[in-house]
Amino acid sequence: MGLKVLSALDTARTQWYHFKAIIIAGMGLFTDAYDLFCIPPIMRLLGRIYYQETKNPQDLRFQVPPAVVSIMVGMSLLGTVIGQLVFGRLGDLIGRRRVYGMSLMMMVLSAIGCGFSVCTKRGCVLASFGFFRFLLGVGIGGDYPLSATIMSEFANKKTRGSFIAAVFSMQGIGILASSMVTMIVCRIFEETSSSSSSSNNNGLKGGSATPEEADIAWRIIVMIGAIPAAMTYYWRMMMPETARYTALVEQNLVQAAKDMEKVLDVSMSQITEDGPLVQLPNNQTHQYPFFSKTFFRRHGRDLFACSAAWFLVDIVFYSSNLFQSHVYNNFLKPANEVSVFRDAYDVAKLQAIVAICSTIPGYWFTVYFIDRIGRVRIQLMGFLVMAIVYISIGIPYYSFWENHDHRKGFMVLYGLTFFFANFGPNTTTFIVPAELFPARFRSTCHGISGASGKVGAIVGLGFLWASHNKAEEGYPEGIGMIASLVIMGGVCLVGMVITYLFTVETNGRSLEENEIVNDELLGHDDDYNKAKCFVRWF
């Protein structure tokens, strides 16, 4: 490649710093998952606290109205879109390290702000909660492109996919942590609450009110999510800039070598150039501007492939998360028959079971296999299996799966969608954009791809409303679960087609080699698809 520092990065043995970087970079993804999956039980708590008695006939007792829930989720997703675009671009303009701490600090402060939420009146609490959720989304969005880019630029080419997947797998730990924290907090409050013994262990049963302590419980659950992220802030500030950014974008090879020596066990003789470097690698000397004709000619197809695949998988992935209310209702007692803390506890327990049995194994299957069988094959397989499962549970949904006797079978298939989303496109769409693009566009393009995904997640909110075949629980009549699940299966098939036609395999090559391969293929447009198929599989 002409740069010894880059060759040393590509061939460096796996070291302690790689694992340290996984933890540091993964804390943003941990916080993302924690704050997403603590929302269902928290909404149960908020419903019991602020919707005990309602004068508005459209408000359901003990339940936060669906419109409010959708706004809360949507505000976070909208913030994530903005954060991915803004911080992704800043990561390329002023450096990964300089903005890395900013996004994490925004996440920490916003999570704390969500817990305080200014006041105790319903309208004020919900407005404040939504505002801080938006800011939290901005911080989370900024963390996506920066974490993926930093990990890809520190990793060696042999295990790069596993390292980036390990960063992303911190989402699974965040999901489990949110459920465990919720269960522990609710259990403690249930045991210590004065109402637990005064209402025959049935909370609101018999007309007793929700205890005041419940308003403290949900705030504690939200704010605890900020602690792991805050603990890694110091280490993020101590991380040097990635050697690839320093060498290829700032063009400071001496500093790149010094930074690399600080964190990896390599000698200066391995990473110091023998003589003055006349020019950078050929693919880095073409200083075409971002979003120029040259950019789109070289990277337009890759950007489309990454953005479209991420958009499609997030439609179904976030829809599956939102459908949990349909699934969990078959396993939960009515809200007025259990205490407020037991209600939230039971929701968190079901989330933990799904995480342990399907979500987390899916992440770690990807960590193990990603560098063995490649990104494209895993993405194709994930989309295909998800499509089969959605159609299988969709077509006979009302005639078969709604039967009480078949609910366990439904849960197994439902869990498979999470397993093959994570051992599939939910993880690979995070990895591939961090490997395909040049160093000076890498964070930006990852941010654009991720933002497309979160737009898909916002679209997925529509399935929450469309999935009802009659007016119920505050939702208007929609197209029903059959049509919704079959459409989601169709979305997965479209994702499979886009992956096959447009996604280039990045396994086994350095980041710079990936760009050179793309440039060579695009130099012969007529042979692009044939050549790409060869590169993908071999």
Task: Work out the number of other CB atoms within 10 angstroms of the CB of residue 501.
Answer: 12
Structure tokens at 99: 């903005």
Q: Interior CA angle at 378 toward 430 and 9, to 5°? A: 55
pLDDT computed for residue 162 by the predictor:
95
Amino acid at 490: G
Radius of gyration of the chain (CA): 24
Assign 266 to helix, strand or coil: coil
pLDDT (tens digit per residue) in 345-393: 998 998 899 899 999 999 999 999 999 999 999 999 999 999 999 999 8
Q: How far apart are CA 274 and CA 386, in angstroms?
A: 52
Q: How far apart are CA 388 and CA 486, in angstroms?
A: 9
Residue 343: how many CA atoms within 13 Å on its side-chain side?
A: 31
pLDDT computed for residue 37 by the predictor:
83
pLDDT (tens digit per residue) in 9-47: 777 777 887 888 899 889 889 988 898 888 889 988 998
Point out which residues pair with 472 in neighbouring strands. Answer: 475
Q: How far apart are CA 280 and CA 303, in angstroms?
A: 24
Least Cα distance to 106 among 149, 131, 139 occurs for: 139
User: Can you list the residues of the chain whose pLDDT is less than 50?
Assistant: 1-2, 57-59, 195-208, 276-285, 524-538
* Domain 1-192+211-268+294-509 CATH (choose: 1.10.600.10, 1.20.1250.20, 1.10.3720.10, 1.10.760.10): 1.20.1250.20
Q: Are 232 and 140 in contact (CB under 8 A)?
A: no
Amino acid at 362: G
Structure tokens at 116: 């305080």
Judging by beta carbons within 10 Å of its beta carbon (0-12, 13-18, 19+), is residue 525 exposed, middle or buried? exposed
pLDDT computed for residue 531 by the predictor:
41
Handedness of CA 31, 36, 42, 47 (dihedral sign): positive
Q: How far apart are CA 157 and CA 269, in angstroms?
A: 21
pLDDT computed for residue 520 by the predictor:
52
